Structure 1
Protein backbone atom coordinates (compact mmCIF):
# COMPACT_ATOMS: atom_id res chain seq x y z
CA UNK A 1 0.00 0.00 0.00
CA UNK A 2 1.38 3.37 -1.01
CA UNK A 3 0.61 6.54 0.87
CA UNK A 4 1.14 9.86 -0.77
CA UNK A 5 2.06 12.77 1.41
CA UNK A 6 0.26 16.04 0.82
CA UNK A 7 1.77 19.29 2.02
CA UNK A 8 -0.27 20.80 4.86
CA UNK A 9 -1.81 24.23 4.73
CA UNK A 10 0.85 26.68 5.92
CA UNK A 11 0.67 30.10 7.54
CA UNK A 12 1.91 31.49 4.22
CA UNK A 13 -1.04 29.81 2.46
CA UNK A 14 -3.35 31.22 5.12
CA UNK A 15 -1.99 34.73 4.53
CA UNK A 16 -2.66 34.34 0.78
CA UNK A 17 -6.24 33.27 1.50
CA UNK A 18 -6.87 36.11 3.95
CA UNK A 19 -5.44 38.73 1.61
CA UNK A 20 -7.38 37.46 -1.41
CA UNK A 21 -10.65 37.25 0.54
CA UNK A 22 -10.21 40.75 1.97
CA UNK A 23 -9.41 42.19 -1.46
CA UNK A 24 -12.53 40.64 -2.96
CA UNK A 25 -14.61 42.03 -0.10
CA UNK A 26 -13.02 45.48 -0.35
CA UNK A 27 -13.86 45.67 -4.06
CA UNK A 28 -17.48 45.01 -3.11
CA UNK A 29 -17.30 47.51 -0.24
CA UNK A 30 -18.07 44.86 2.37
CA UNK A 31 -16.14 44.76 5.68
CA UNK A 32 -15.55 41.12 6.64
CA UNK A 33 -13.89 38.72 9.02
CA UNK A 34 -11.80 35.91 7.58
CA UNK A 35 -10.82 32.68 9.34
CA UNK A 36 -8.42 29.99 8.07
CA UNK A 37 -8.20 26.62 9.83
CA UNK A 38 -5.75 23.78 9.22
CA UNK A 39 -6.87 20.17 8.67
CA UNK A 40 -7.05 19.60 12.44
CA UNK A 41 -9.37 22.56 12.94
CA UNK A 42 -6.65 24.74 14.47
CA UNK A 43 -6.58 28.46 13.75
CA UNK A 44 -3.95 29.44 11.18
CA UNK A 45 -5.14 32.99 10.49
CA UNK A 46 -7.88 35.38 11.49
CA UNK A 47 -8.57 38.95 10.44
CA UNK A 48 -11.55 41.18 11.18
CA UNK A 49 -11.84 44.47 9.33
CA UNK A 50 -12.29 47.43 11.67
CA UNK A 51 -15.77 48.13 10.33
CA UNK A 52 -16.98 44.51 10.25
CA UNK A 53 -19.79 43.65 12.64
CA UNK A 54 -18.40 41.96 15.74
CA UNK A 55 -20.36 38.74 15.29
CA UNK A 56 -18.68 38.22 11.91
CA UNK A 57 -15.59 36.97 13.72
CA UNK A 58 -17.57 34.18 15.31
CA UNK A 59 -19.55 33.37 12.18
CA UNK A 60 -16.46 33.22 9.97
CA UNK A 61 -14.82 30.78 12.38
CA UNK A 62 -17.89 28.57 12.74
CA UNK A 63 -18.42 28.50 8.97
CA UNK A 64 -14.81 27.41 8.45
CA UNK A 65 -15.15 24.72 11.14
CA UNK A 66 -18.43 23.42 9.69
CA UNK A 67 -16.98 23.28 6.20
CA UNK A 68 -13.90 21.46 7.48
CA UNK A 69 -15.85 18.88 9.49
CA UNK A 70 -18.20 18.05 6.63
CA UNK A 71 -15.70 18.63 3.80
CA UNK A 72 -18.21 20.72 1.89
CA UNK A 73 -19.02 24.37 1.25
CA UNK A 74 -21.52 25.55 3.84
CA UNK A 75 -23.59 26.95 0.96
CA UNK A 76 -24.24 23.34 -0.11
CA UNK A 77 -25.40 22.29 3.36
CA UNK A 78 -28.08 24.86 4.17
CA UNK A 79 -31.04 22.83 2.84
CA UNK A 80 -29.86 19.65 4.59
CA UNK A 81 -30.46 21.11 8.06
CA UNK A 82 -33.85 22.68 7.45
CA UNK A 83 -36.69 21.17 9.55
CA UNK A 84 -37.57 18.69 6.77
CA UNK A 85 -33.93 18.00 5.82
CA UNK A 86 -32.10 14.74 6.46
CA UNK A 87 -29.65 16.36 8.90
CA UNK A 88 -32.07 18.71 10.66
CA UNK A 89 -30.72 17.80 14.11
CA UNK A 90 -27.03 18.20 13.22
CA UNK A 91 -26.68 21.88 14.26
CA UNK A 92 -27.48 21.00 17.88
CA UNK A 93 -26.13 17.44 18.04
CA UNK A 94 -22.50 18.26 18.83
CA UNK A 95 -20.69 20.06 21.63
CA UNK A 96 -18.95 22.41 19.22
CA UNK A 97 -21.52 24.46 17.32
CA UNK A 98 -21.72 24.21 13.57
CA UNK A 99 -23.07 27.02 11.42
CA UNK A 100 -24.99 26.27 8.25
CA UNK A 101 -24.80 29.62 6.49
CA UNK A 102 -22.96 30.15 3.20
CA UNK A 103 -19.41 31.47 3.54
CA UNK A 104 -17.36 28.43 4.57
CA UNK A 105 -15.34 26.41 2.05
CA UNK A 106 -12.98 23.47 2.42
CA UNK A 107 -9.42 23.84 1.15
CA UNK A 108 -8.05 20.90 -0.84
CA UNK A 109 -4.57 20.17 -2.11
CA UNK A 110 -4.02 17.29 -4.54
CA UNK A 111 -7.55 16.10 -3.80
CA UNK A 112 -7.02 16.00 -0.04
CA UNK A 113 -8.64 18.16 2.63
CA UNK A 114 -5.96 20.40 4.17
CA UNK A 115 -8.06 23.08 5.85
CA UNK A 116 -10.98 25.45 5.53
CA UNK A 117 -11.75 29.11 4.98
CA UNK A 118 -14.65 31.02 6.50
CA UNK A 119 -15.99 34.49 5.73
CA UNK A 120 -18.48 36.54 7.71
CA UNK A 121 -19.78 40.08 7.46
CA UNK A 122 -21.54 40.19 4.11
CA UNK A 123 -24.66 38.43 2.95
CA UNK A 124 -24.27 34.65 2.81
CA UNK A 125 -23.97 34.85 -0.98
CA UNK A 126 -21.30 37.56 -0.76
CA UNK A 127 -19.32 35.64 1.86
CA UNK A 128 -19.42 32.49 -0.28
CA UNK A 129 -18.30 34.47 -3.32
CA UNK A 130 -15.38 36.07 -1.47
CA UNK A 131 -14.30 32.65 -0.16
CA UNK A 132 -14.39 31.07 -3.63
CA UNK A 133 -12.37 33.94 -5.08
CA UNK A 134 -9.79 33.49 -2.32
CA UNK A 135 -9.46 29.76 -3.06
CA UNK A 136 -8.51 30.60 -6.63
CA UNK A 137 -5.58 32.68 -5.34
CA UNK A 138 -4.15 29.61 -3.63
Structure 2
Protein backbone atom coordinates (compact mmCIF):
# COMPACT_ATOMS: atom_id res chain seq x y z
CA UNK A 1 0.00 0.00 0.00
CA UNK A 2 1.43 3.32 -1.07
CA UNK A 3 1.13 6.43 1.05
CA UNK A 4 2.40 8.74 -1.67
CA UNK A 5 -0.06 11.56 -2.33
CA UNK A 6 -0.69 12.60 -5.89
CA UNK A 7 0.28 16.20 -6.55
CA UNK A 8 -1.93 18.17 -8.90
CA UNK A 9 0.34 20.26 -11.10
CA UNK A 10 -0.31 23.86 -12.00
CA UNK A 11 -2.67 23.83 -14.98
CA UNK A 12 -3.27 26.20 -17.85
CA UNK A 13 -6.60 27.06 -16.24
CA UNK A 14 -4.77 27.92 -12.98
CA UNK A 15 -2.30 30.06 -14.94
CA UNK A 16 -5.07 31.94 -16.74
CA UNK A 17 -6.86 32.59 -13.43
CA UNK A 18 -3.60 33.92 -11.95
CA UNK A 19 -3.06 36.21 -14.95
CA UNK A 20 -6.64 37.51 -14.72
CA UNK A 21 -6.37 38.17 -10.98
CA UNK A 22 -3.01 39.93 -11.32
CA UNK A 23 -4.25 42.01 -14.25
CA UNK A 24 -7.36 43.03 -12.30
CA UNK A 25 -5.28 44.06 -9.27
CA UNK A 26 -2.85 46.06 -11.41
CA UNK A 27 -5.61 47.76 -13.40
CA UNK A 28 -7.39 48.73 -10.17
CA UNK A 29 -4.17 50.46 -9.11
CA UNK A 30 -3.73 52.08 -12.53
CA UNK A 31 -0.50 50.20 -13.24
CA UNK A 32 0.40 48.59 -16.57
CA UNK A 33 2.23 45.29 -16.01
CA UNK A 34 3.54 42.12 -17.55
CA UNK A 35 2.61 38.82 -15.91
CA UNK A 36 4.43 35.49 -16.21
CA UNK A 37 3.32 32.11 -14.87
CA UNK A 38 5.79 29.19 -14.88
CA UNK A 39 5.15 25.55 -14.01
CA UNK A 40 7.34 23.59 -11.58
CA UNK A 41 9.82 22.80 -14.36
CA UNK A 42 10.22 26.47 -15.26
CA UNK A 43 8.18 26.16 -18.45
CA UNK A 44 5.98 29.05 -19.52
CA UNK A 45 2.28 28.43 -18.83
CA UNK A 46 0.98 31.96 -19.36
CA UNK A 47 2.25 35.41 -20.22
CA UNK A 48 0.51 38.75 -20.65
CA UNK A 49 1.92 42.23 -21.23
CA UNK A 50 -0.39 45.20 -21.01
CA UNK A 51 -0.16 47.36 -24.13
CA UNK A 52 1.00 50.28 -21.98
CA UNK A 53 3.58 48.33 -19.95
CA UNK A 54 7.21 49.20 -20.48
CA UNK A 55 8.83 46.68 -22.80
CA UNK A 56 11.39 45.47 -20.28
CA UNK A 57 8.58 44.43 -17.92
CA UNK A 58 8.12 41.27 -19.96
CA UNK A 59 11.67 40.21 -19.23
CA UNK A 60 11.57 41.28 -15.59
CA UNK A 61 8.30 39.45 -14.90
CA UNK A 62 9.77 36.26 -16.36
CA UNK A 63 13.05 36.55 -14.47
CA UNK A 64 11.25 37.30 -11.21
CA UNK A 65 9.11 34.17 -11.67
CA UNK A 66 12.22 32.10 -12.53
CA UNK A 67 14.07 33.38 -9.45
CA UNK A 68 11.12 32.68 -7.12
CA UNK A 69 10.84 29.18 -8.59
CA UNK A 70 14.54 28.31 -8.37
CA UNK A 71 14.92 29.52 -4.79
CA UNK A 72 11.36 28.68 -3.66
CA UNK A 73 11.07 32.11 -2.07
CA UNK A 74 9.42 35.44 -2.86
CA UNK A 75 11.90 37.72 -4.59
CA UNK A 76 10.91 40.46 -2.13
CA UNK A 77 12.47 38.36 0.64
CA UNK A 78 15.73 37.93 -1.29
CA UNK A 79 16.65 41.51 -2.18
CA UNK A 80 19.14 41.94 0.68
CA UNK A 81 20.78 38.57 -0.04
CA UNK A 82 22.45 39.94 -3.19
CA UNK A 83 23.92 43.04 -1.60
CA UNK A 84 27.72 43.08 -1.20
CA UNK A 85 28.56 40.62 1.56
CA UNK A 86 25.20 38.84 1.21
CA UNK A 87 25.03 35.06 0.72
CA UNK A 88 23.82 35.39 -2.90
CA UNK A 89 25.99 38.39 -3.90
CA UNK A 90 27.38 36.70 -7.05
CA UNK A 91 24.39 34.47 -7.80
CA UNK A 92 22.54 36.83 -10.19
CA UNK A 93 25.33 36.49 -12.76
CA UNK A 94 26.58 32.98 -11.96
CA UNK A 95 23.97 31.10 -13.99
CA UNK A 96 23.22 30.79 -17.68
CA UNK A 97 19.71 32.10 -17.03
CA UNK A 98 20.12 35.15 -14.80
CA UNK A 99 18.09 35.55 -11.65
CA UNK A 100 16.46 38.85 -10.72
CA UNK A 101 16.29 39.89 -7.10
CA UNK A 102 13.59 42.54 -7.31
CA UNK A 103 10.22 42.19 -5.56
CA UNK A 104 7.42 40.84 -7.75
CA UNK A 105 8.11 37.10 -8.01
CA UNK A 106 6.50 34.49 -5.77
CA UNK A 107 6.62 30.70 -5.68
CA UNK A 108 3.30 28.88 -5.98
CA UNK A 109 2.50 25.92 -3.74
CA UNK A 110 -0.20 23.29 -3.67
CA UNK A 111 -0.51 20.96 -0.69
CA UNK A 112 2.77 22.35 0.61
CA UNK A 113 4.70 21.51 -2.55
CA UNK A 114 6.16 23.85 -5.17
CA UNK A 115 4.08 23.76 -8.37
CA UNK A 116 5.26 26.90 -10.15
CA UNK A 117 5.87 30.62 -9.84
CA UNK A 118 4.29 33.94 -10.70
CA UNK A 119 6.20 37.05 -11.72
CA UNK A 120 4.91 40.60 -12.18
CA UNK A 121 6.88 43.48 -13.71
CA UNK A 122 6.02 47.03 -14.64
CA UNK A 123 5.07 48.71 -11.40
CA UNK A 124 7.17 49.68 -8.42
CA UNK A 125 8.64 46.52 -6.86
CA UNK A 126 6.31 46.74 -3.86
CA UNK A 127 3.31 47.06 -6.19
CA UNK A 128 4.41 44.09 -8.30
CA UNK A 129 4.79 41.98 -5.14
CA UNK A 130 1.35 43.01 -3.89
CA UNK A 131 -0.26 42.16 -7.25
CA UNK A 132 1.40 38.72 -7.19
CA UNK A 133 0.31 37.99 -3.63
CA UNK A 134 -3.24 39.11 -4.44
CA UNK A 135 -3.34 36.90 -7.53
CA UNK A 136 -2.04 33.88 -5.61
CA UNK A 137 -5.17 33.94 -3.44
CA UNK A 138 -7.06 32.68 -6.53
CA UNK A 139 -4.94 29.55 -6.54
CA UNK A 140 -5.31 29.13 -2.79
CA UNK A 141 -9.10 29.48 -3.08
CA UNK A 142 -9.21 26.88 -5.85
CA UNK A 143 -7.37 24.34 -3.71
CA UNK A 144 -9.22 25.18 -0.51
CA UNK A 145 -6.10 26.39 1.28
Residue of structure 2 in register with 1:32 after alignment = 33
Residue of structure 2 in register with 1:75 after alignment = 76
Deviation at 1:4, TM superposition (A): 1.5
Residue of structure 1 in register with 2:143 after alignment = none
Once residues 79 and 108 of structure 1 are traced to their aligned partners in structure 2, the CA distance between those partners, rounded to angstroms, is: 24
> Over aligned residues, Cα RMSD in angstroms?
0.8
- Does structure 1 residue 133 correspond to structure 2 residue 127? no
Once residues 93 and 63 of structure 2 are traced to their aligned partners in structure 1, the CA distance between those partners, rounded to angstroms, is: 13
Matches within 5 A, 1:50-89: 50-89=51-90
Once residues 74 and 46 of structure 1 are traced to their aligned partners in structure 2, the CA distance between those partners, rounded to angstroms, is: 19
* TM-score, length of structure 1 as denominator length: 0.98
Listed as ranges, the gaps of 5+ residues in structure 1 are: none
Once residues 112 and 9 of structure 2 are traced to their aligned partners in structure 1, the CA distance between those partners, rounded to angstroms, is: 12
Once residues 3 and 89 of structure 1 are traced to their aligned partners in structure 2, the CA distance between those partners, rounded to angstroms, is: 38
Structure 1's consecutive aligned runs of 4 or more residues displaced over 3 angstroms after TM superposition are none
* TM-score, length of structure 2 as denominator length: 0.93
- Does structure 1 residue 9 correspond to structure 2 residue 42? no
**Deviations for 1:4-36, whole angstroms, at most 9, x for unmatched residues?**
211000000000000000000000000000000
Once residues 79 and 98 of structure 1 are traced to their aligned partners in structure 2, the CA distance between those partners, rounded to angstroms, is: 14
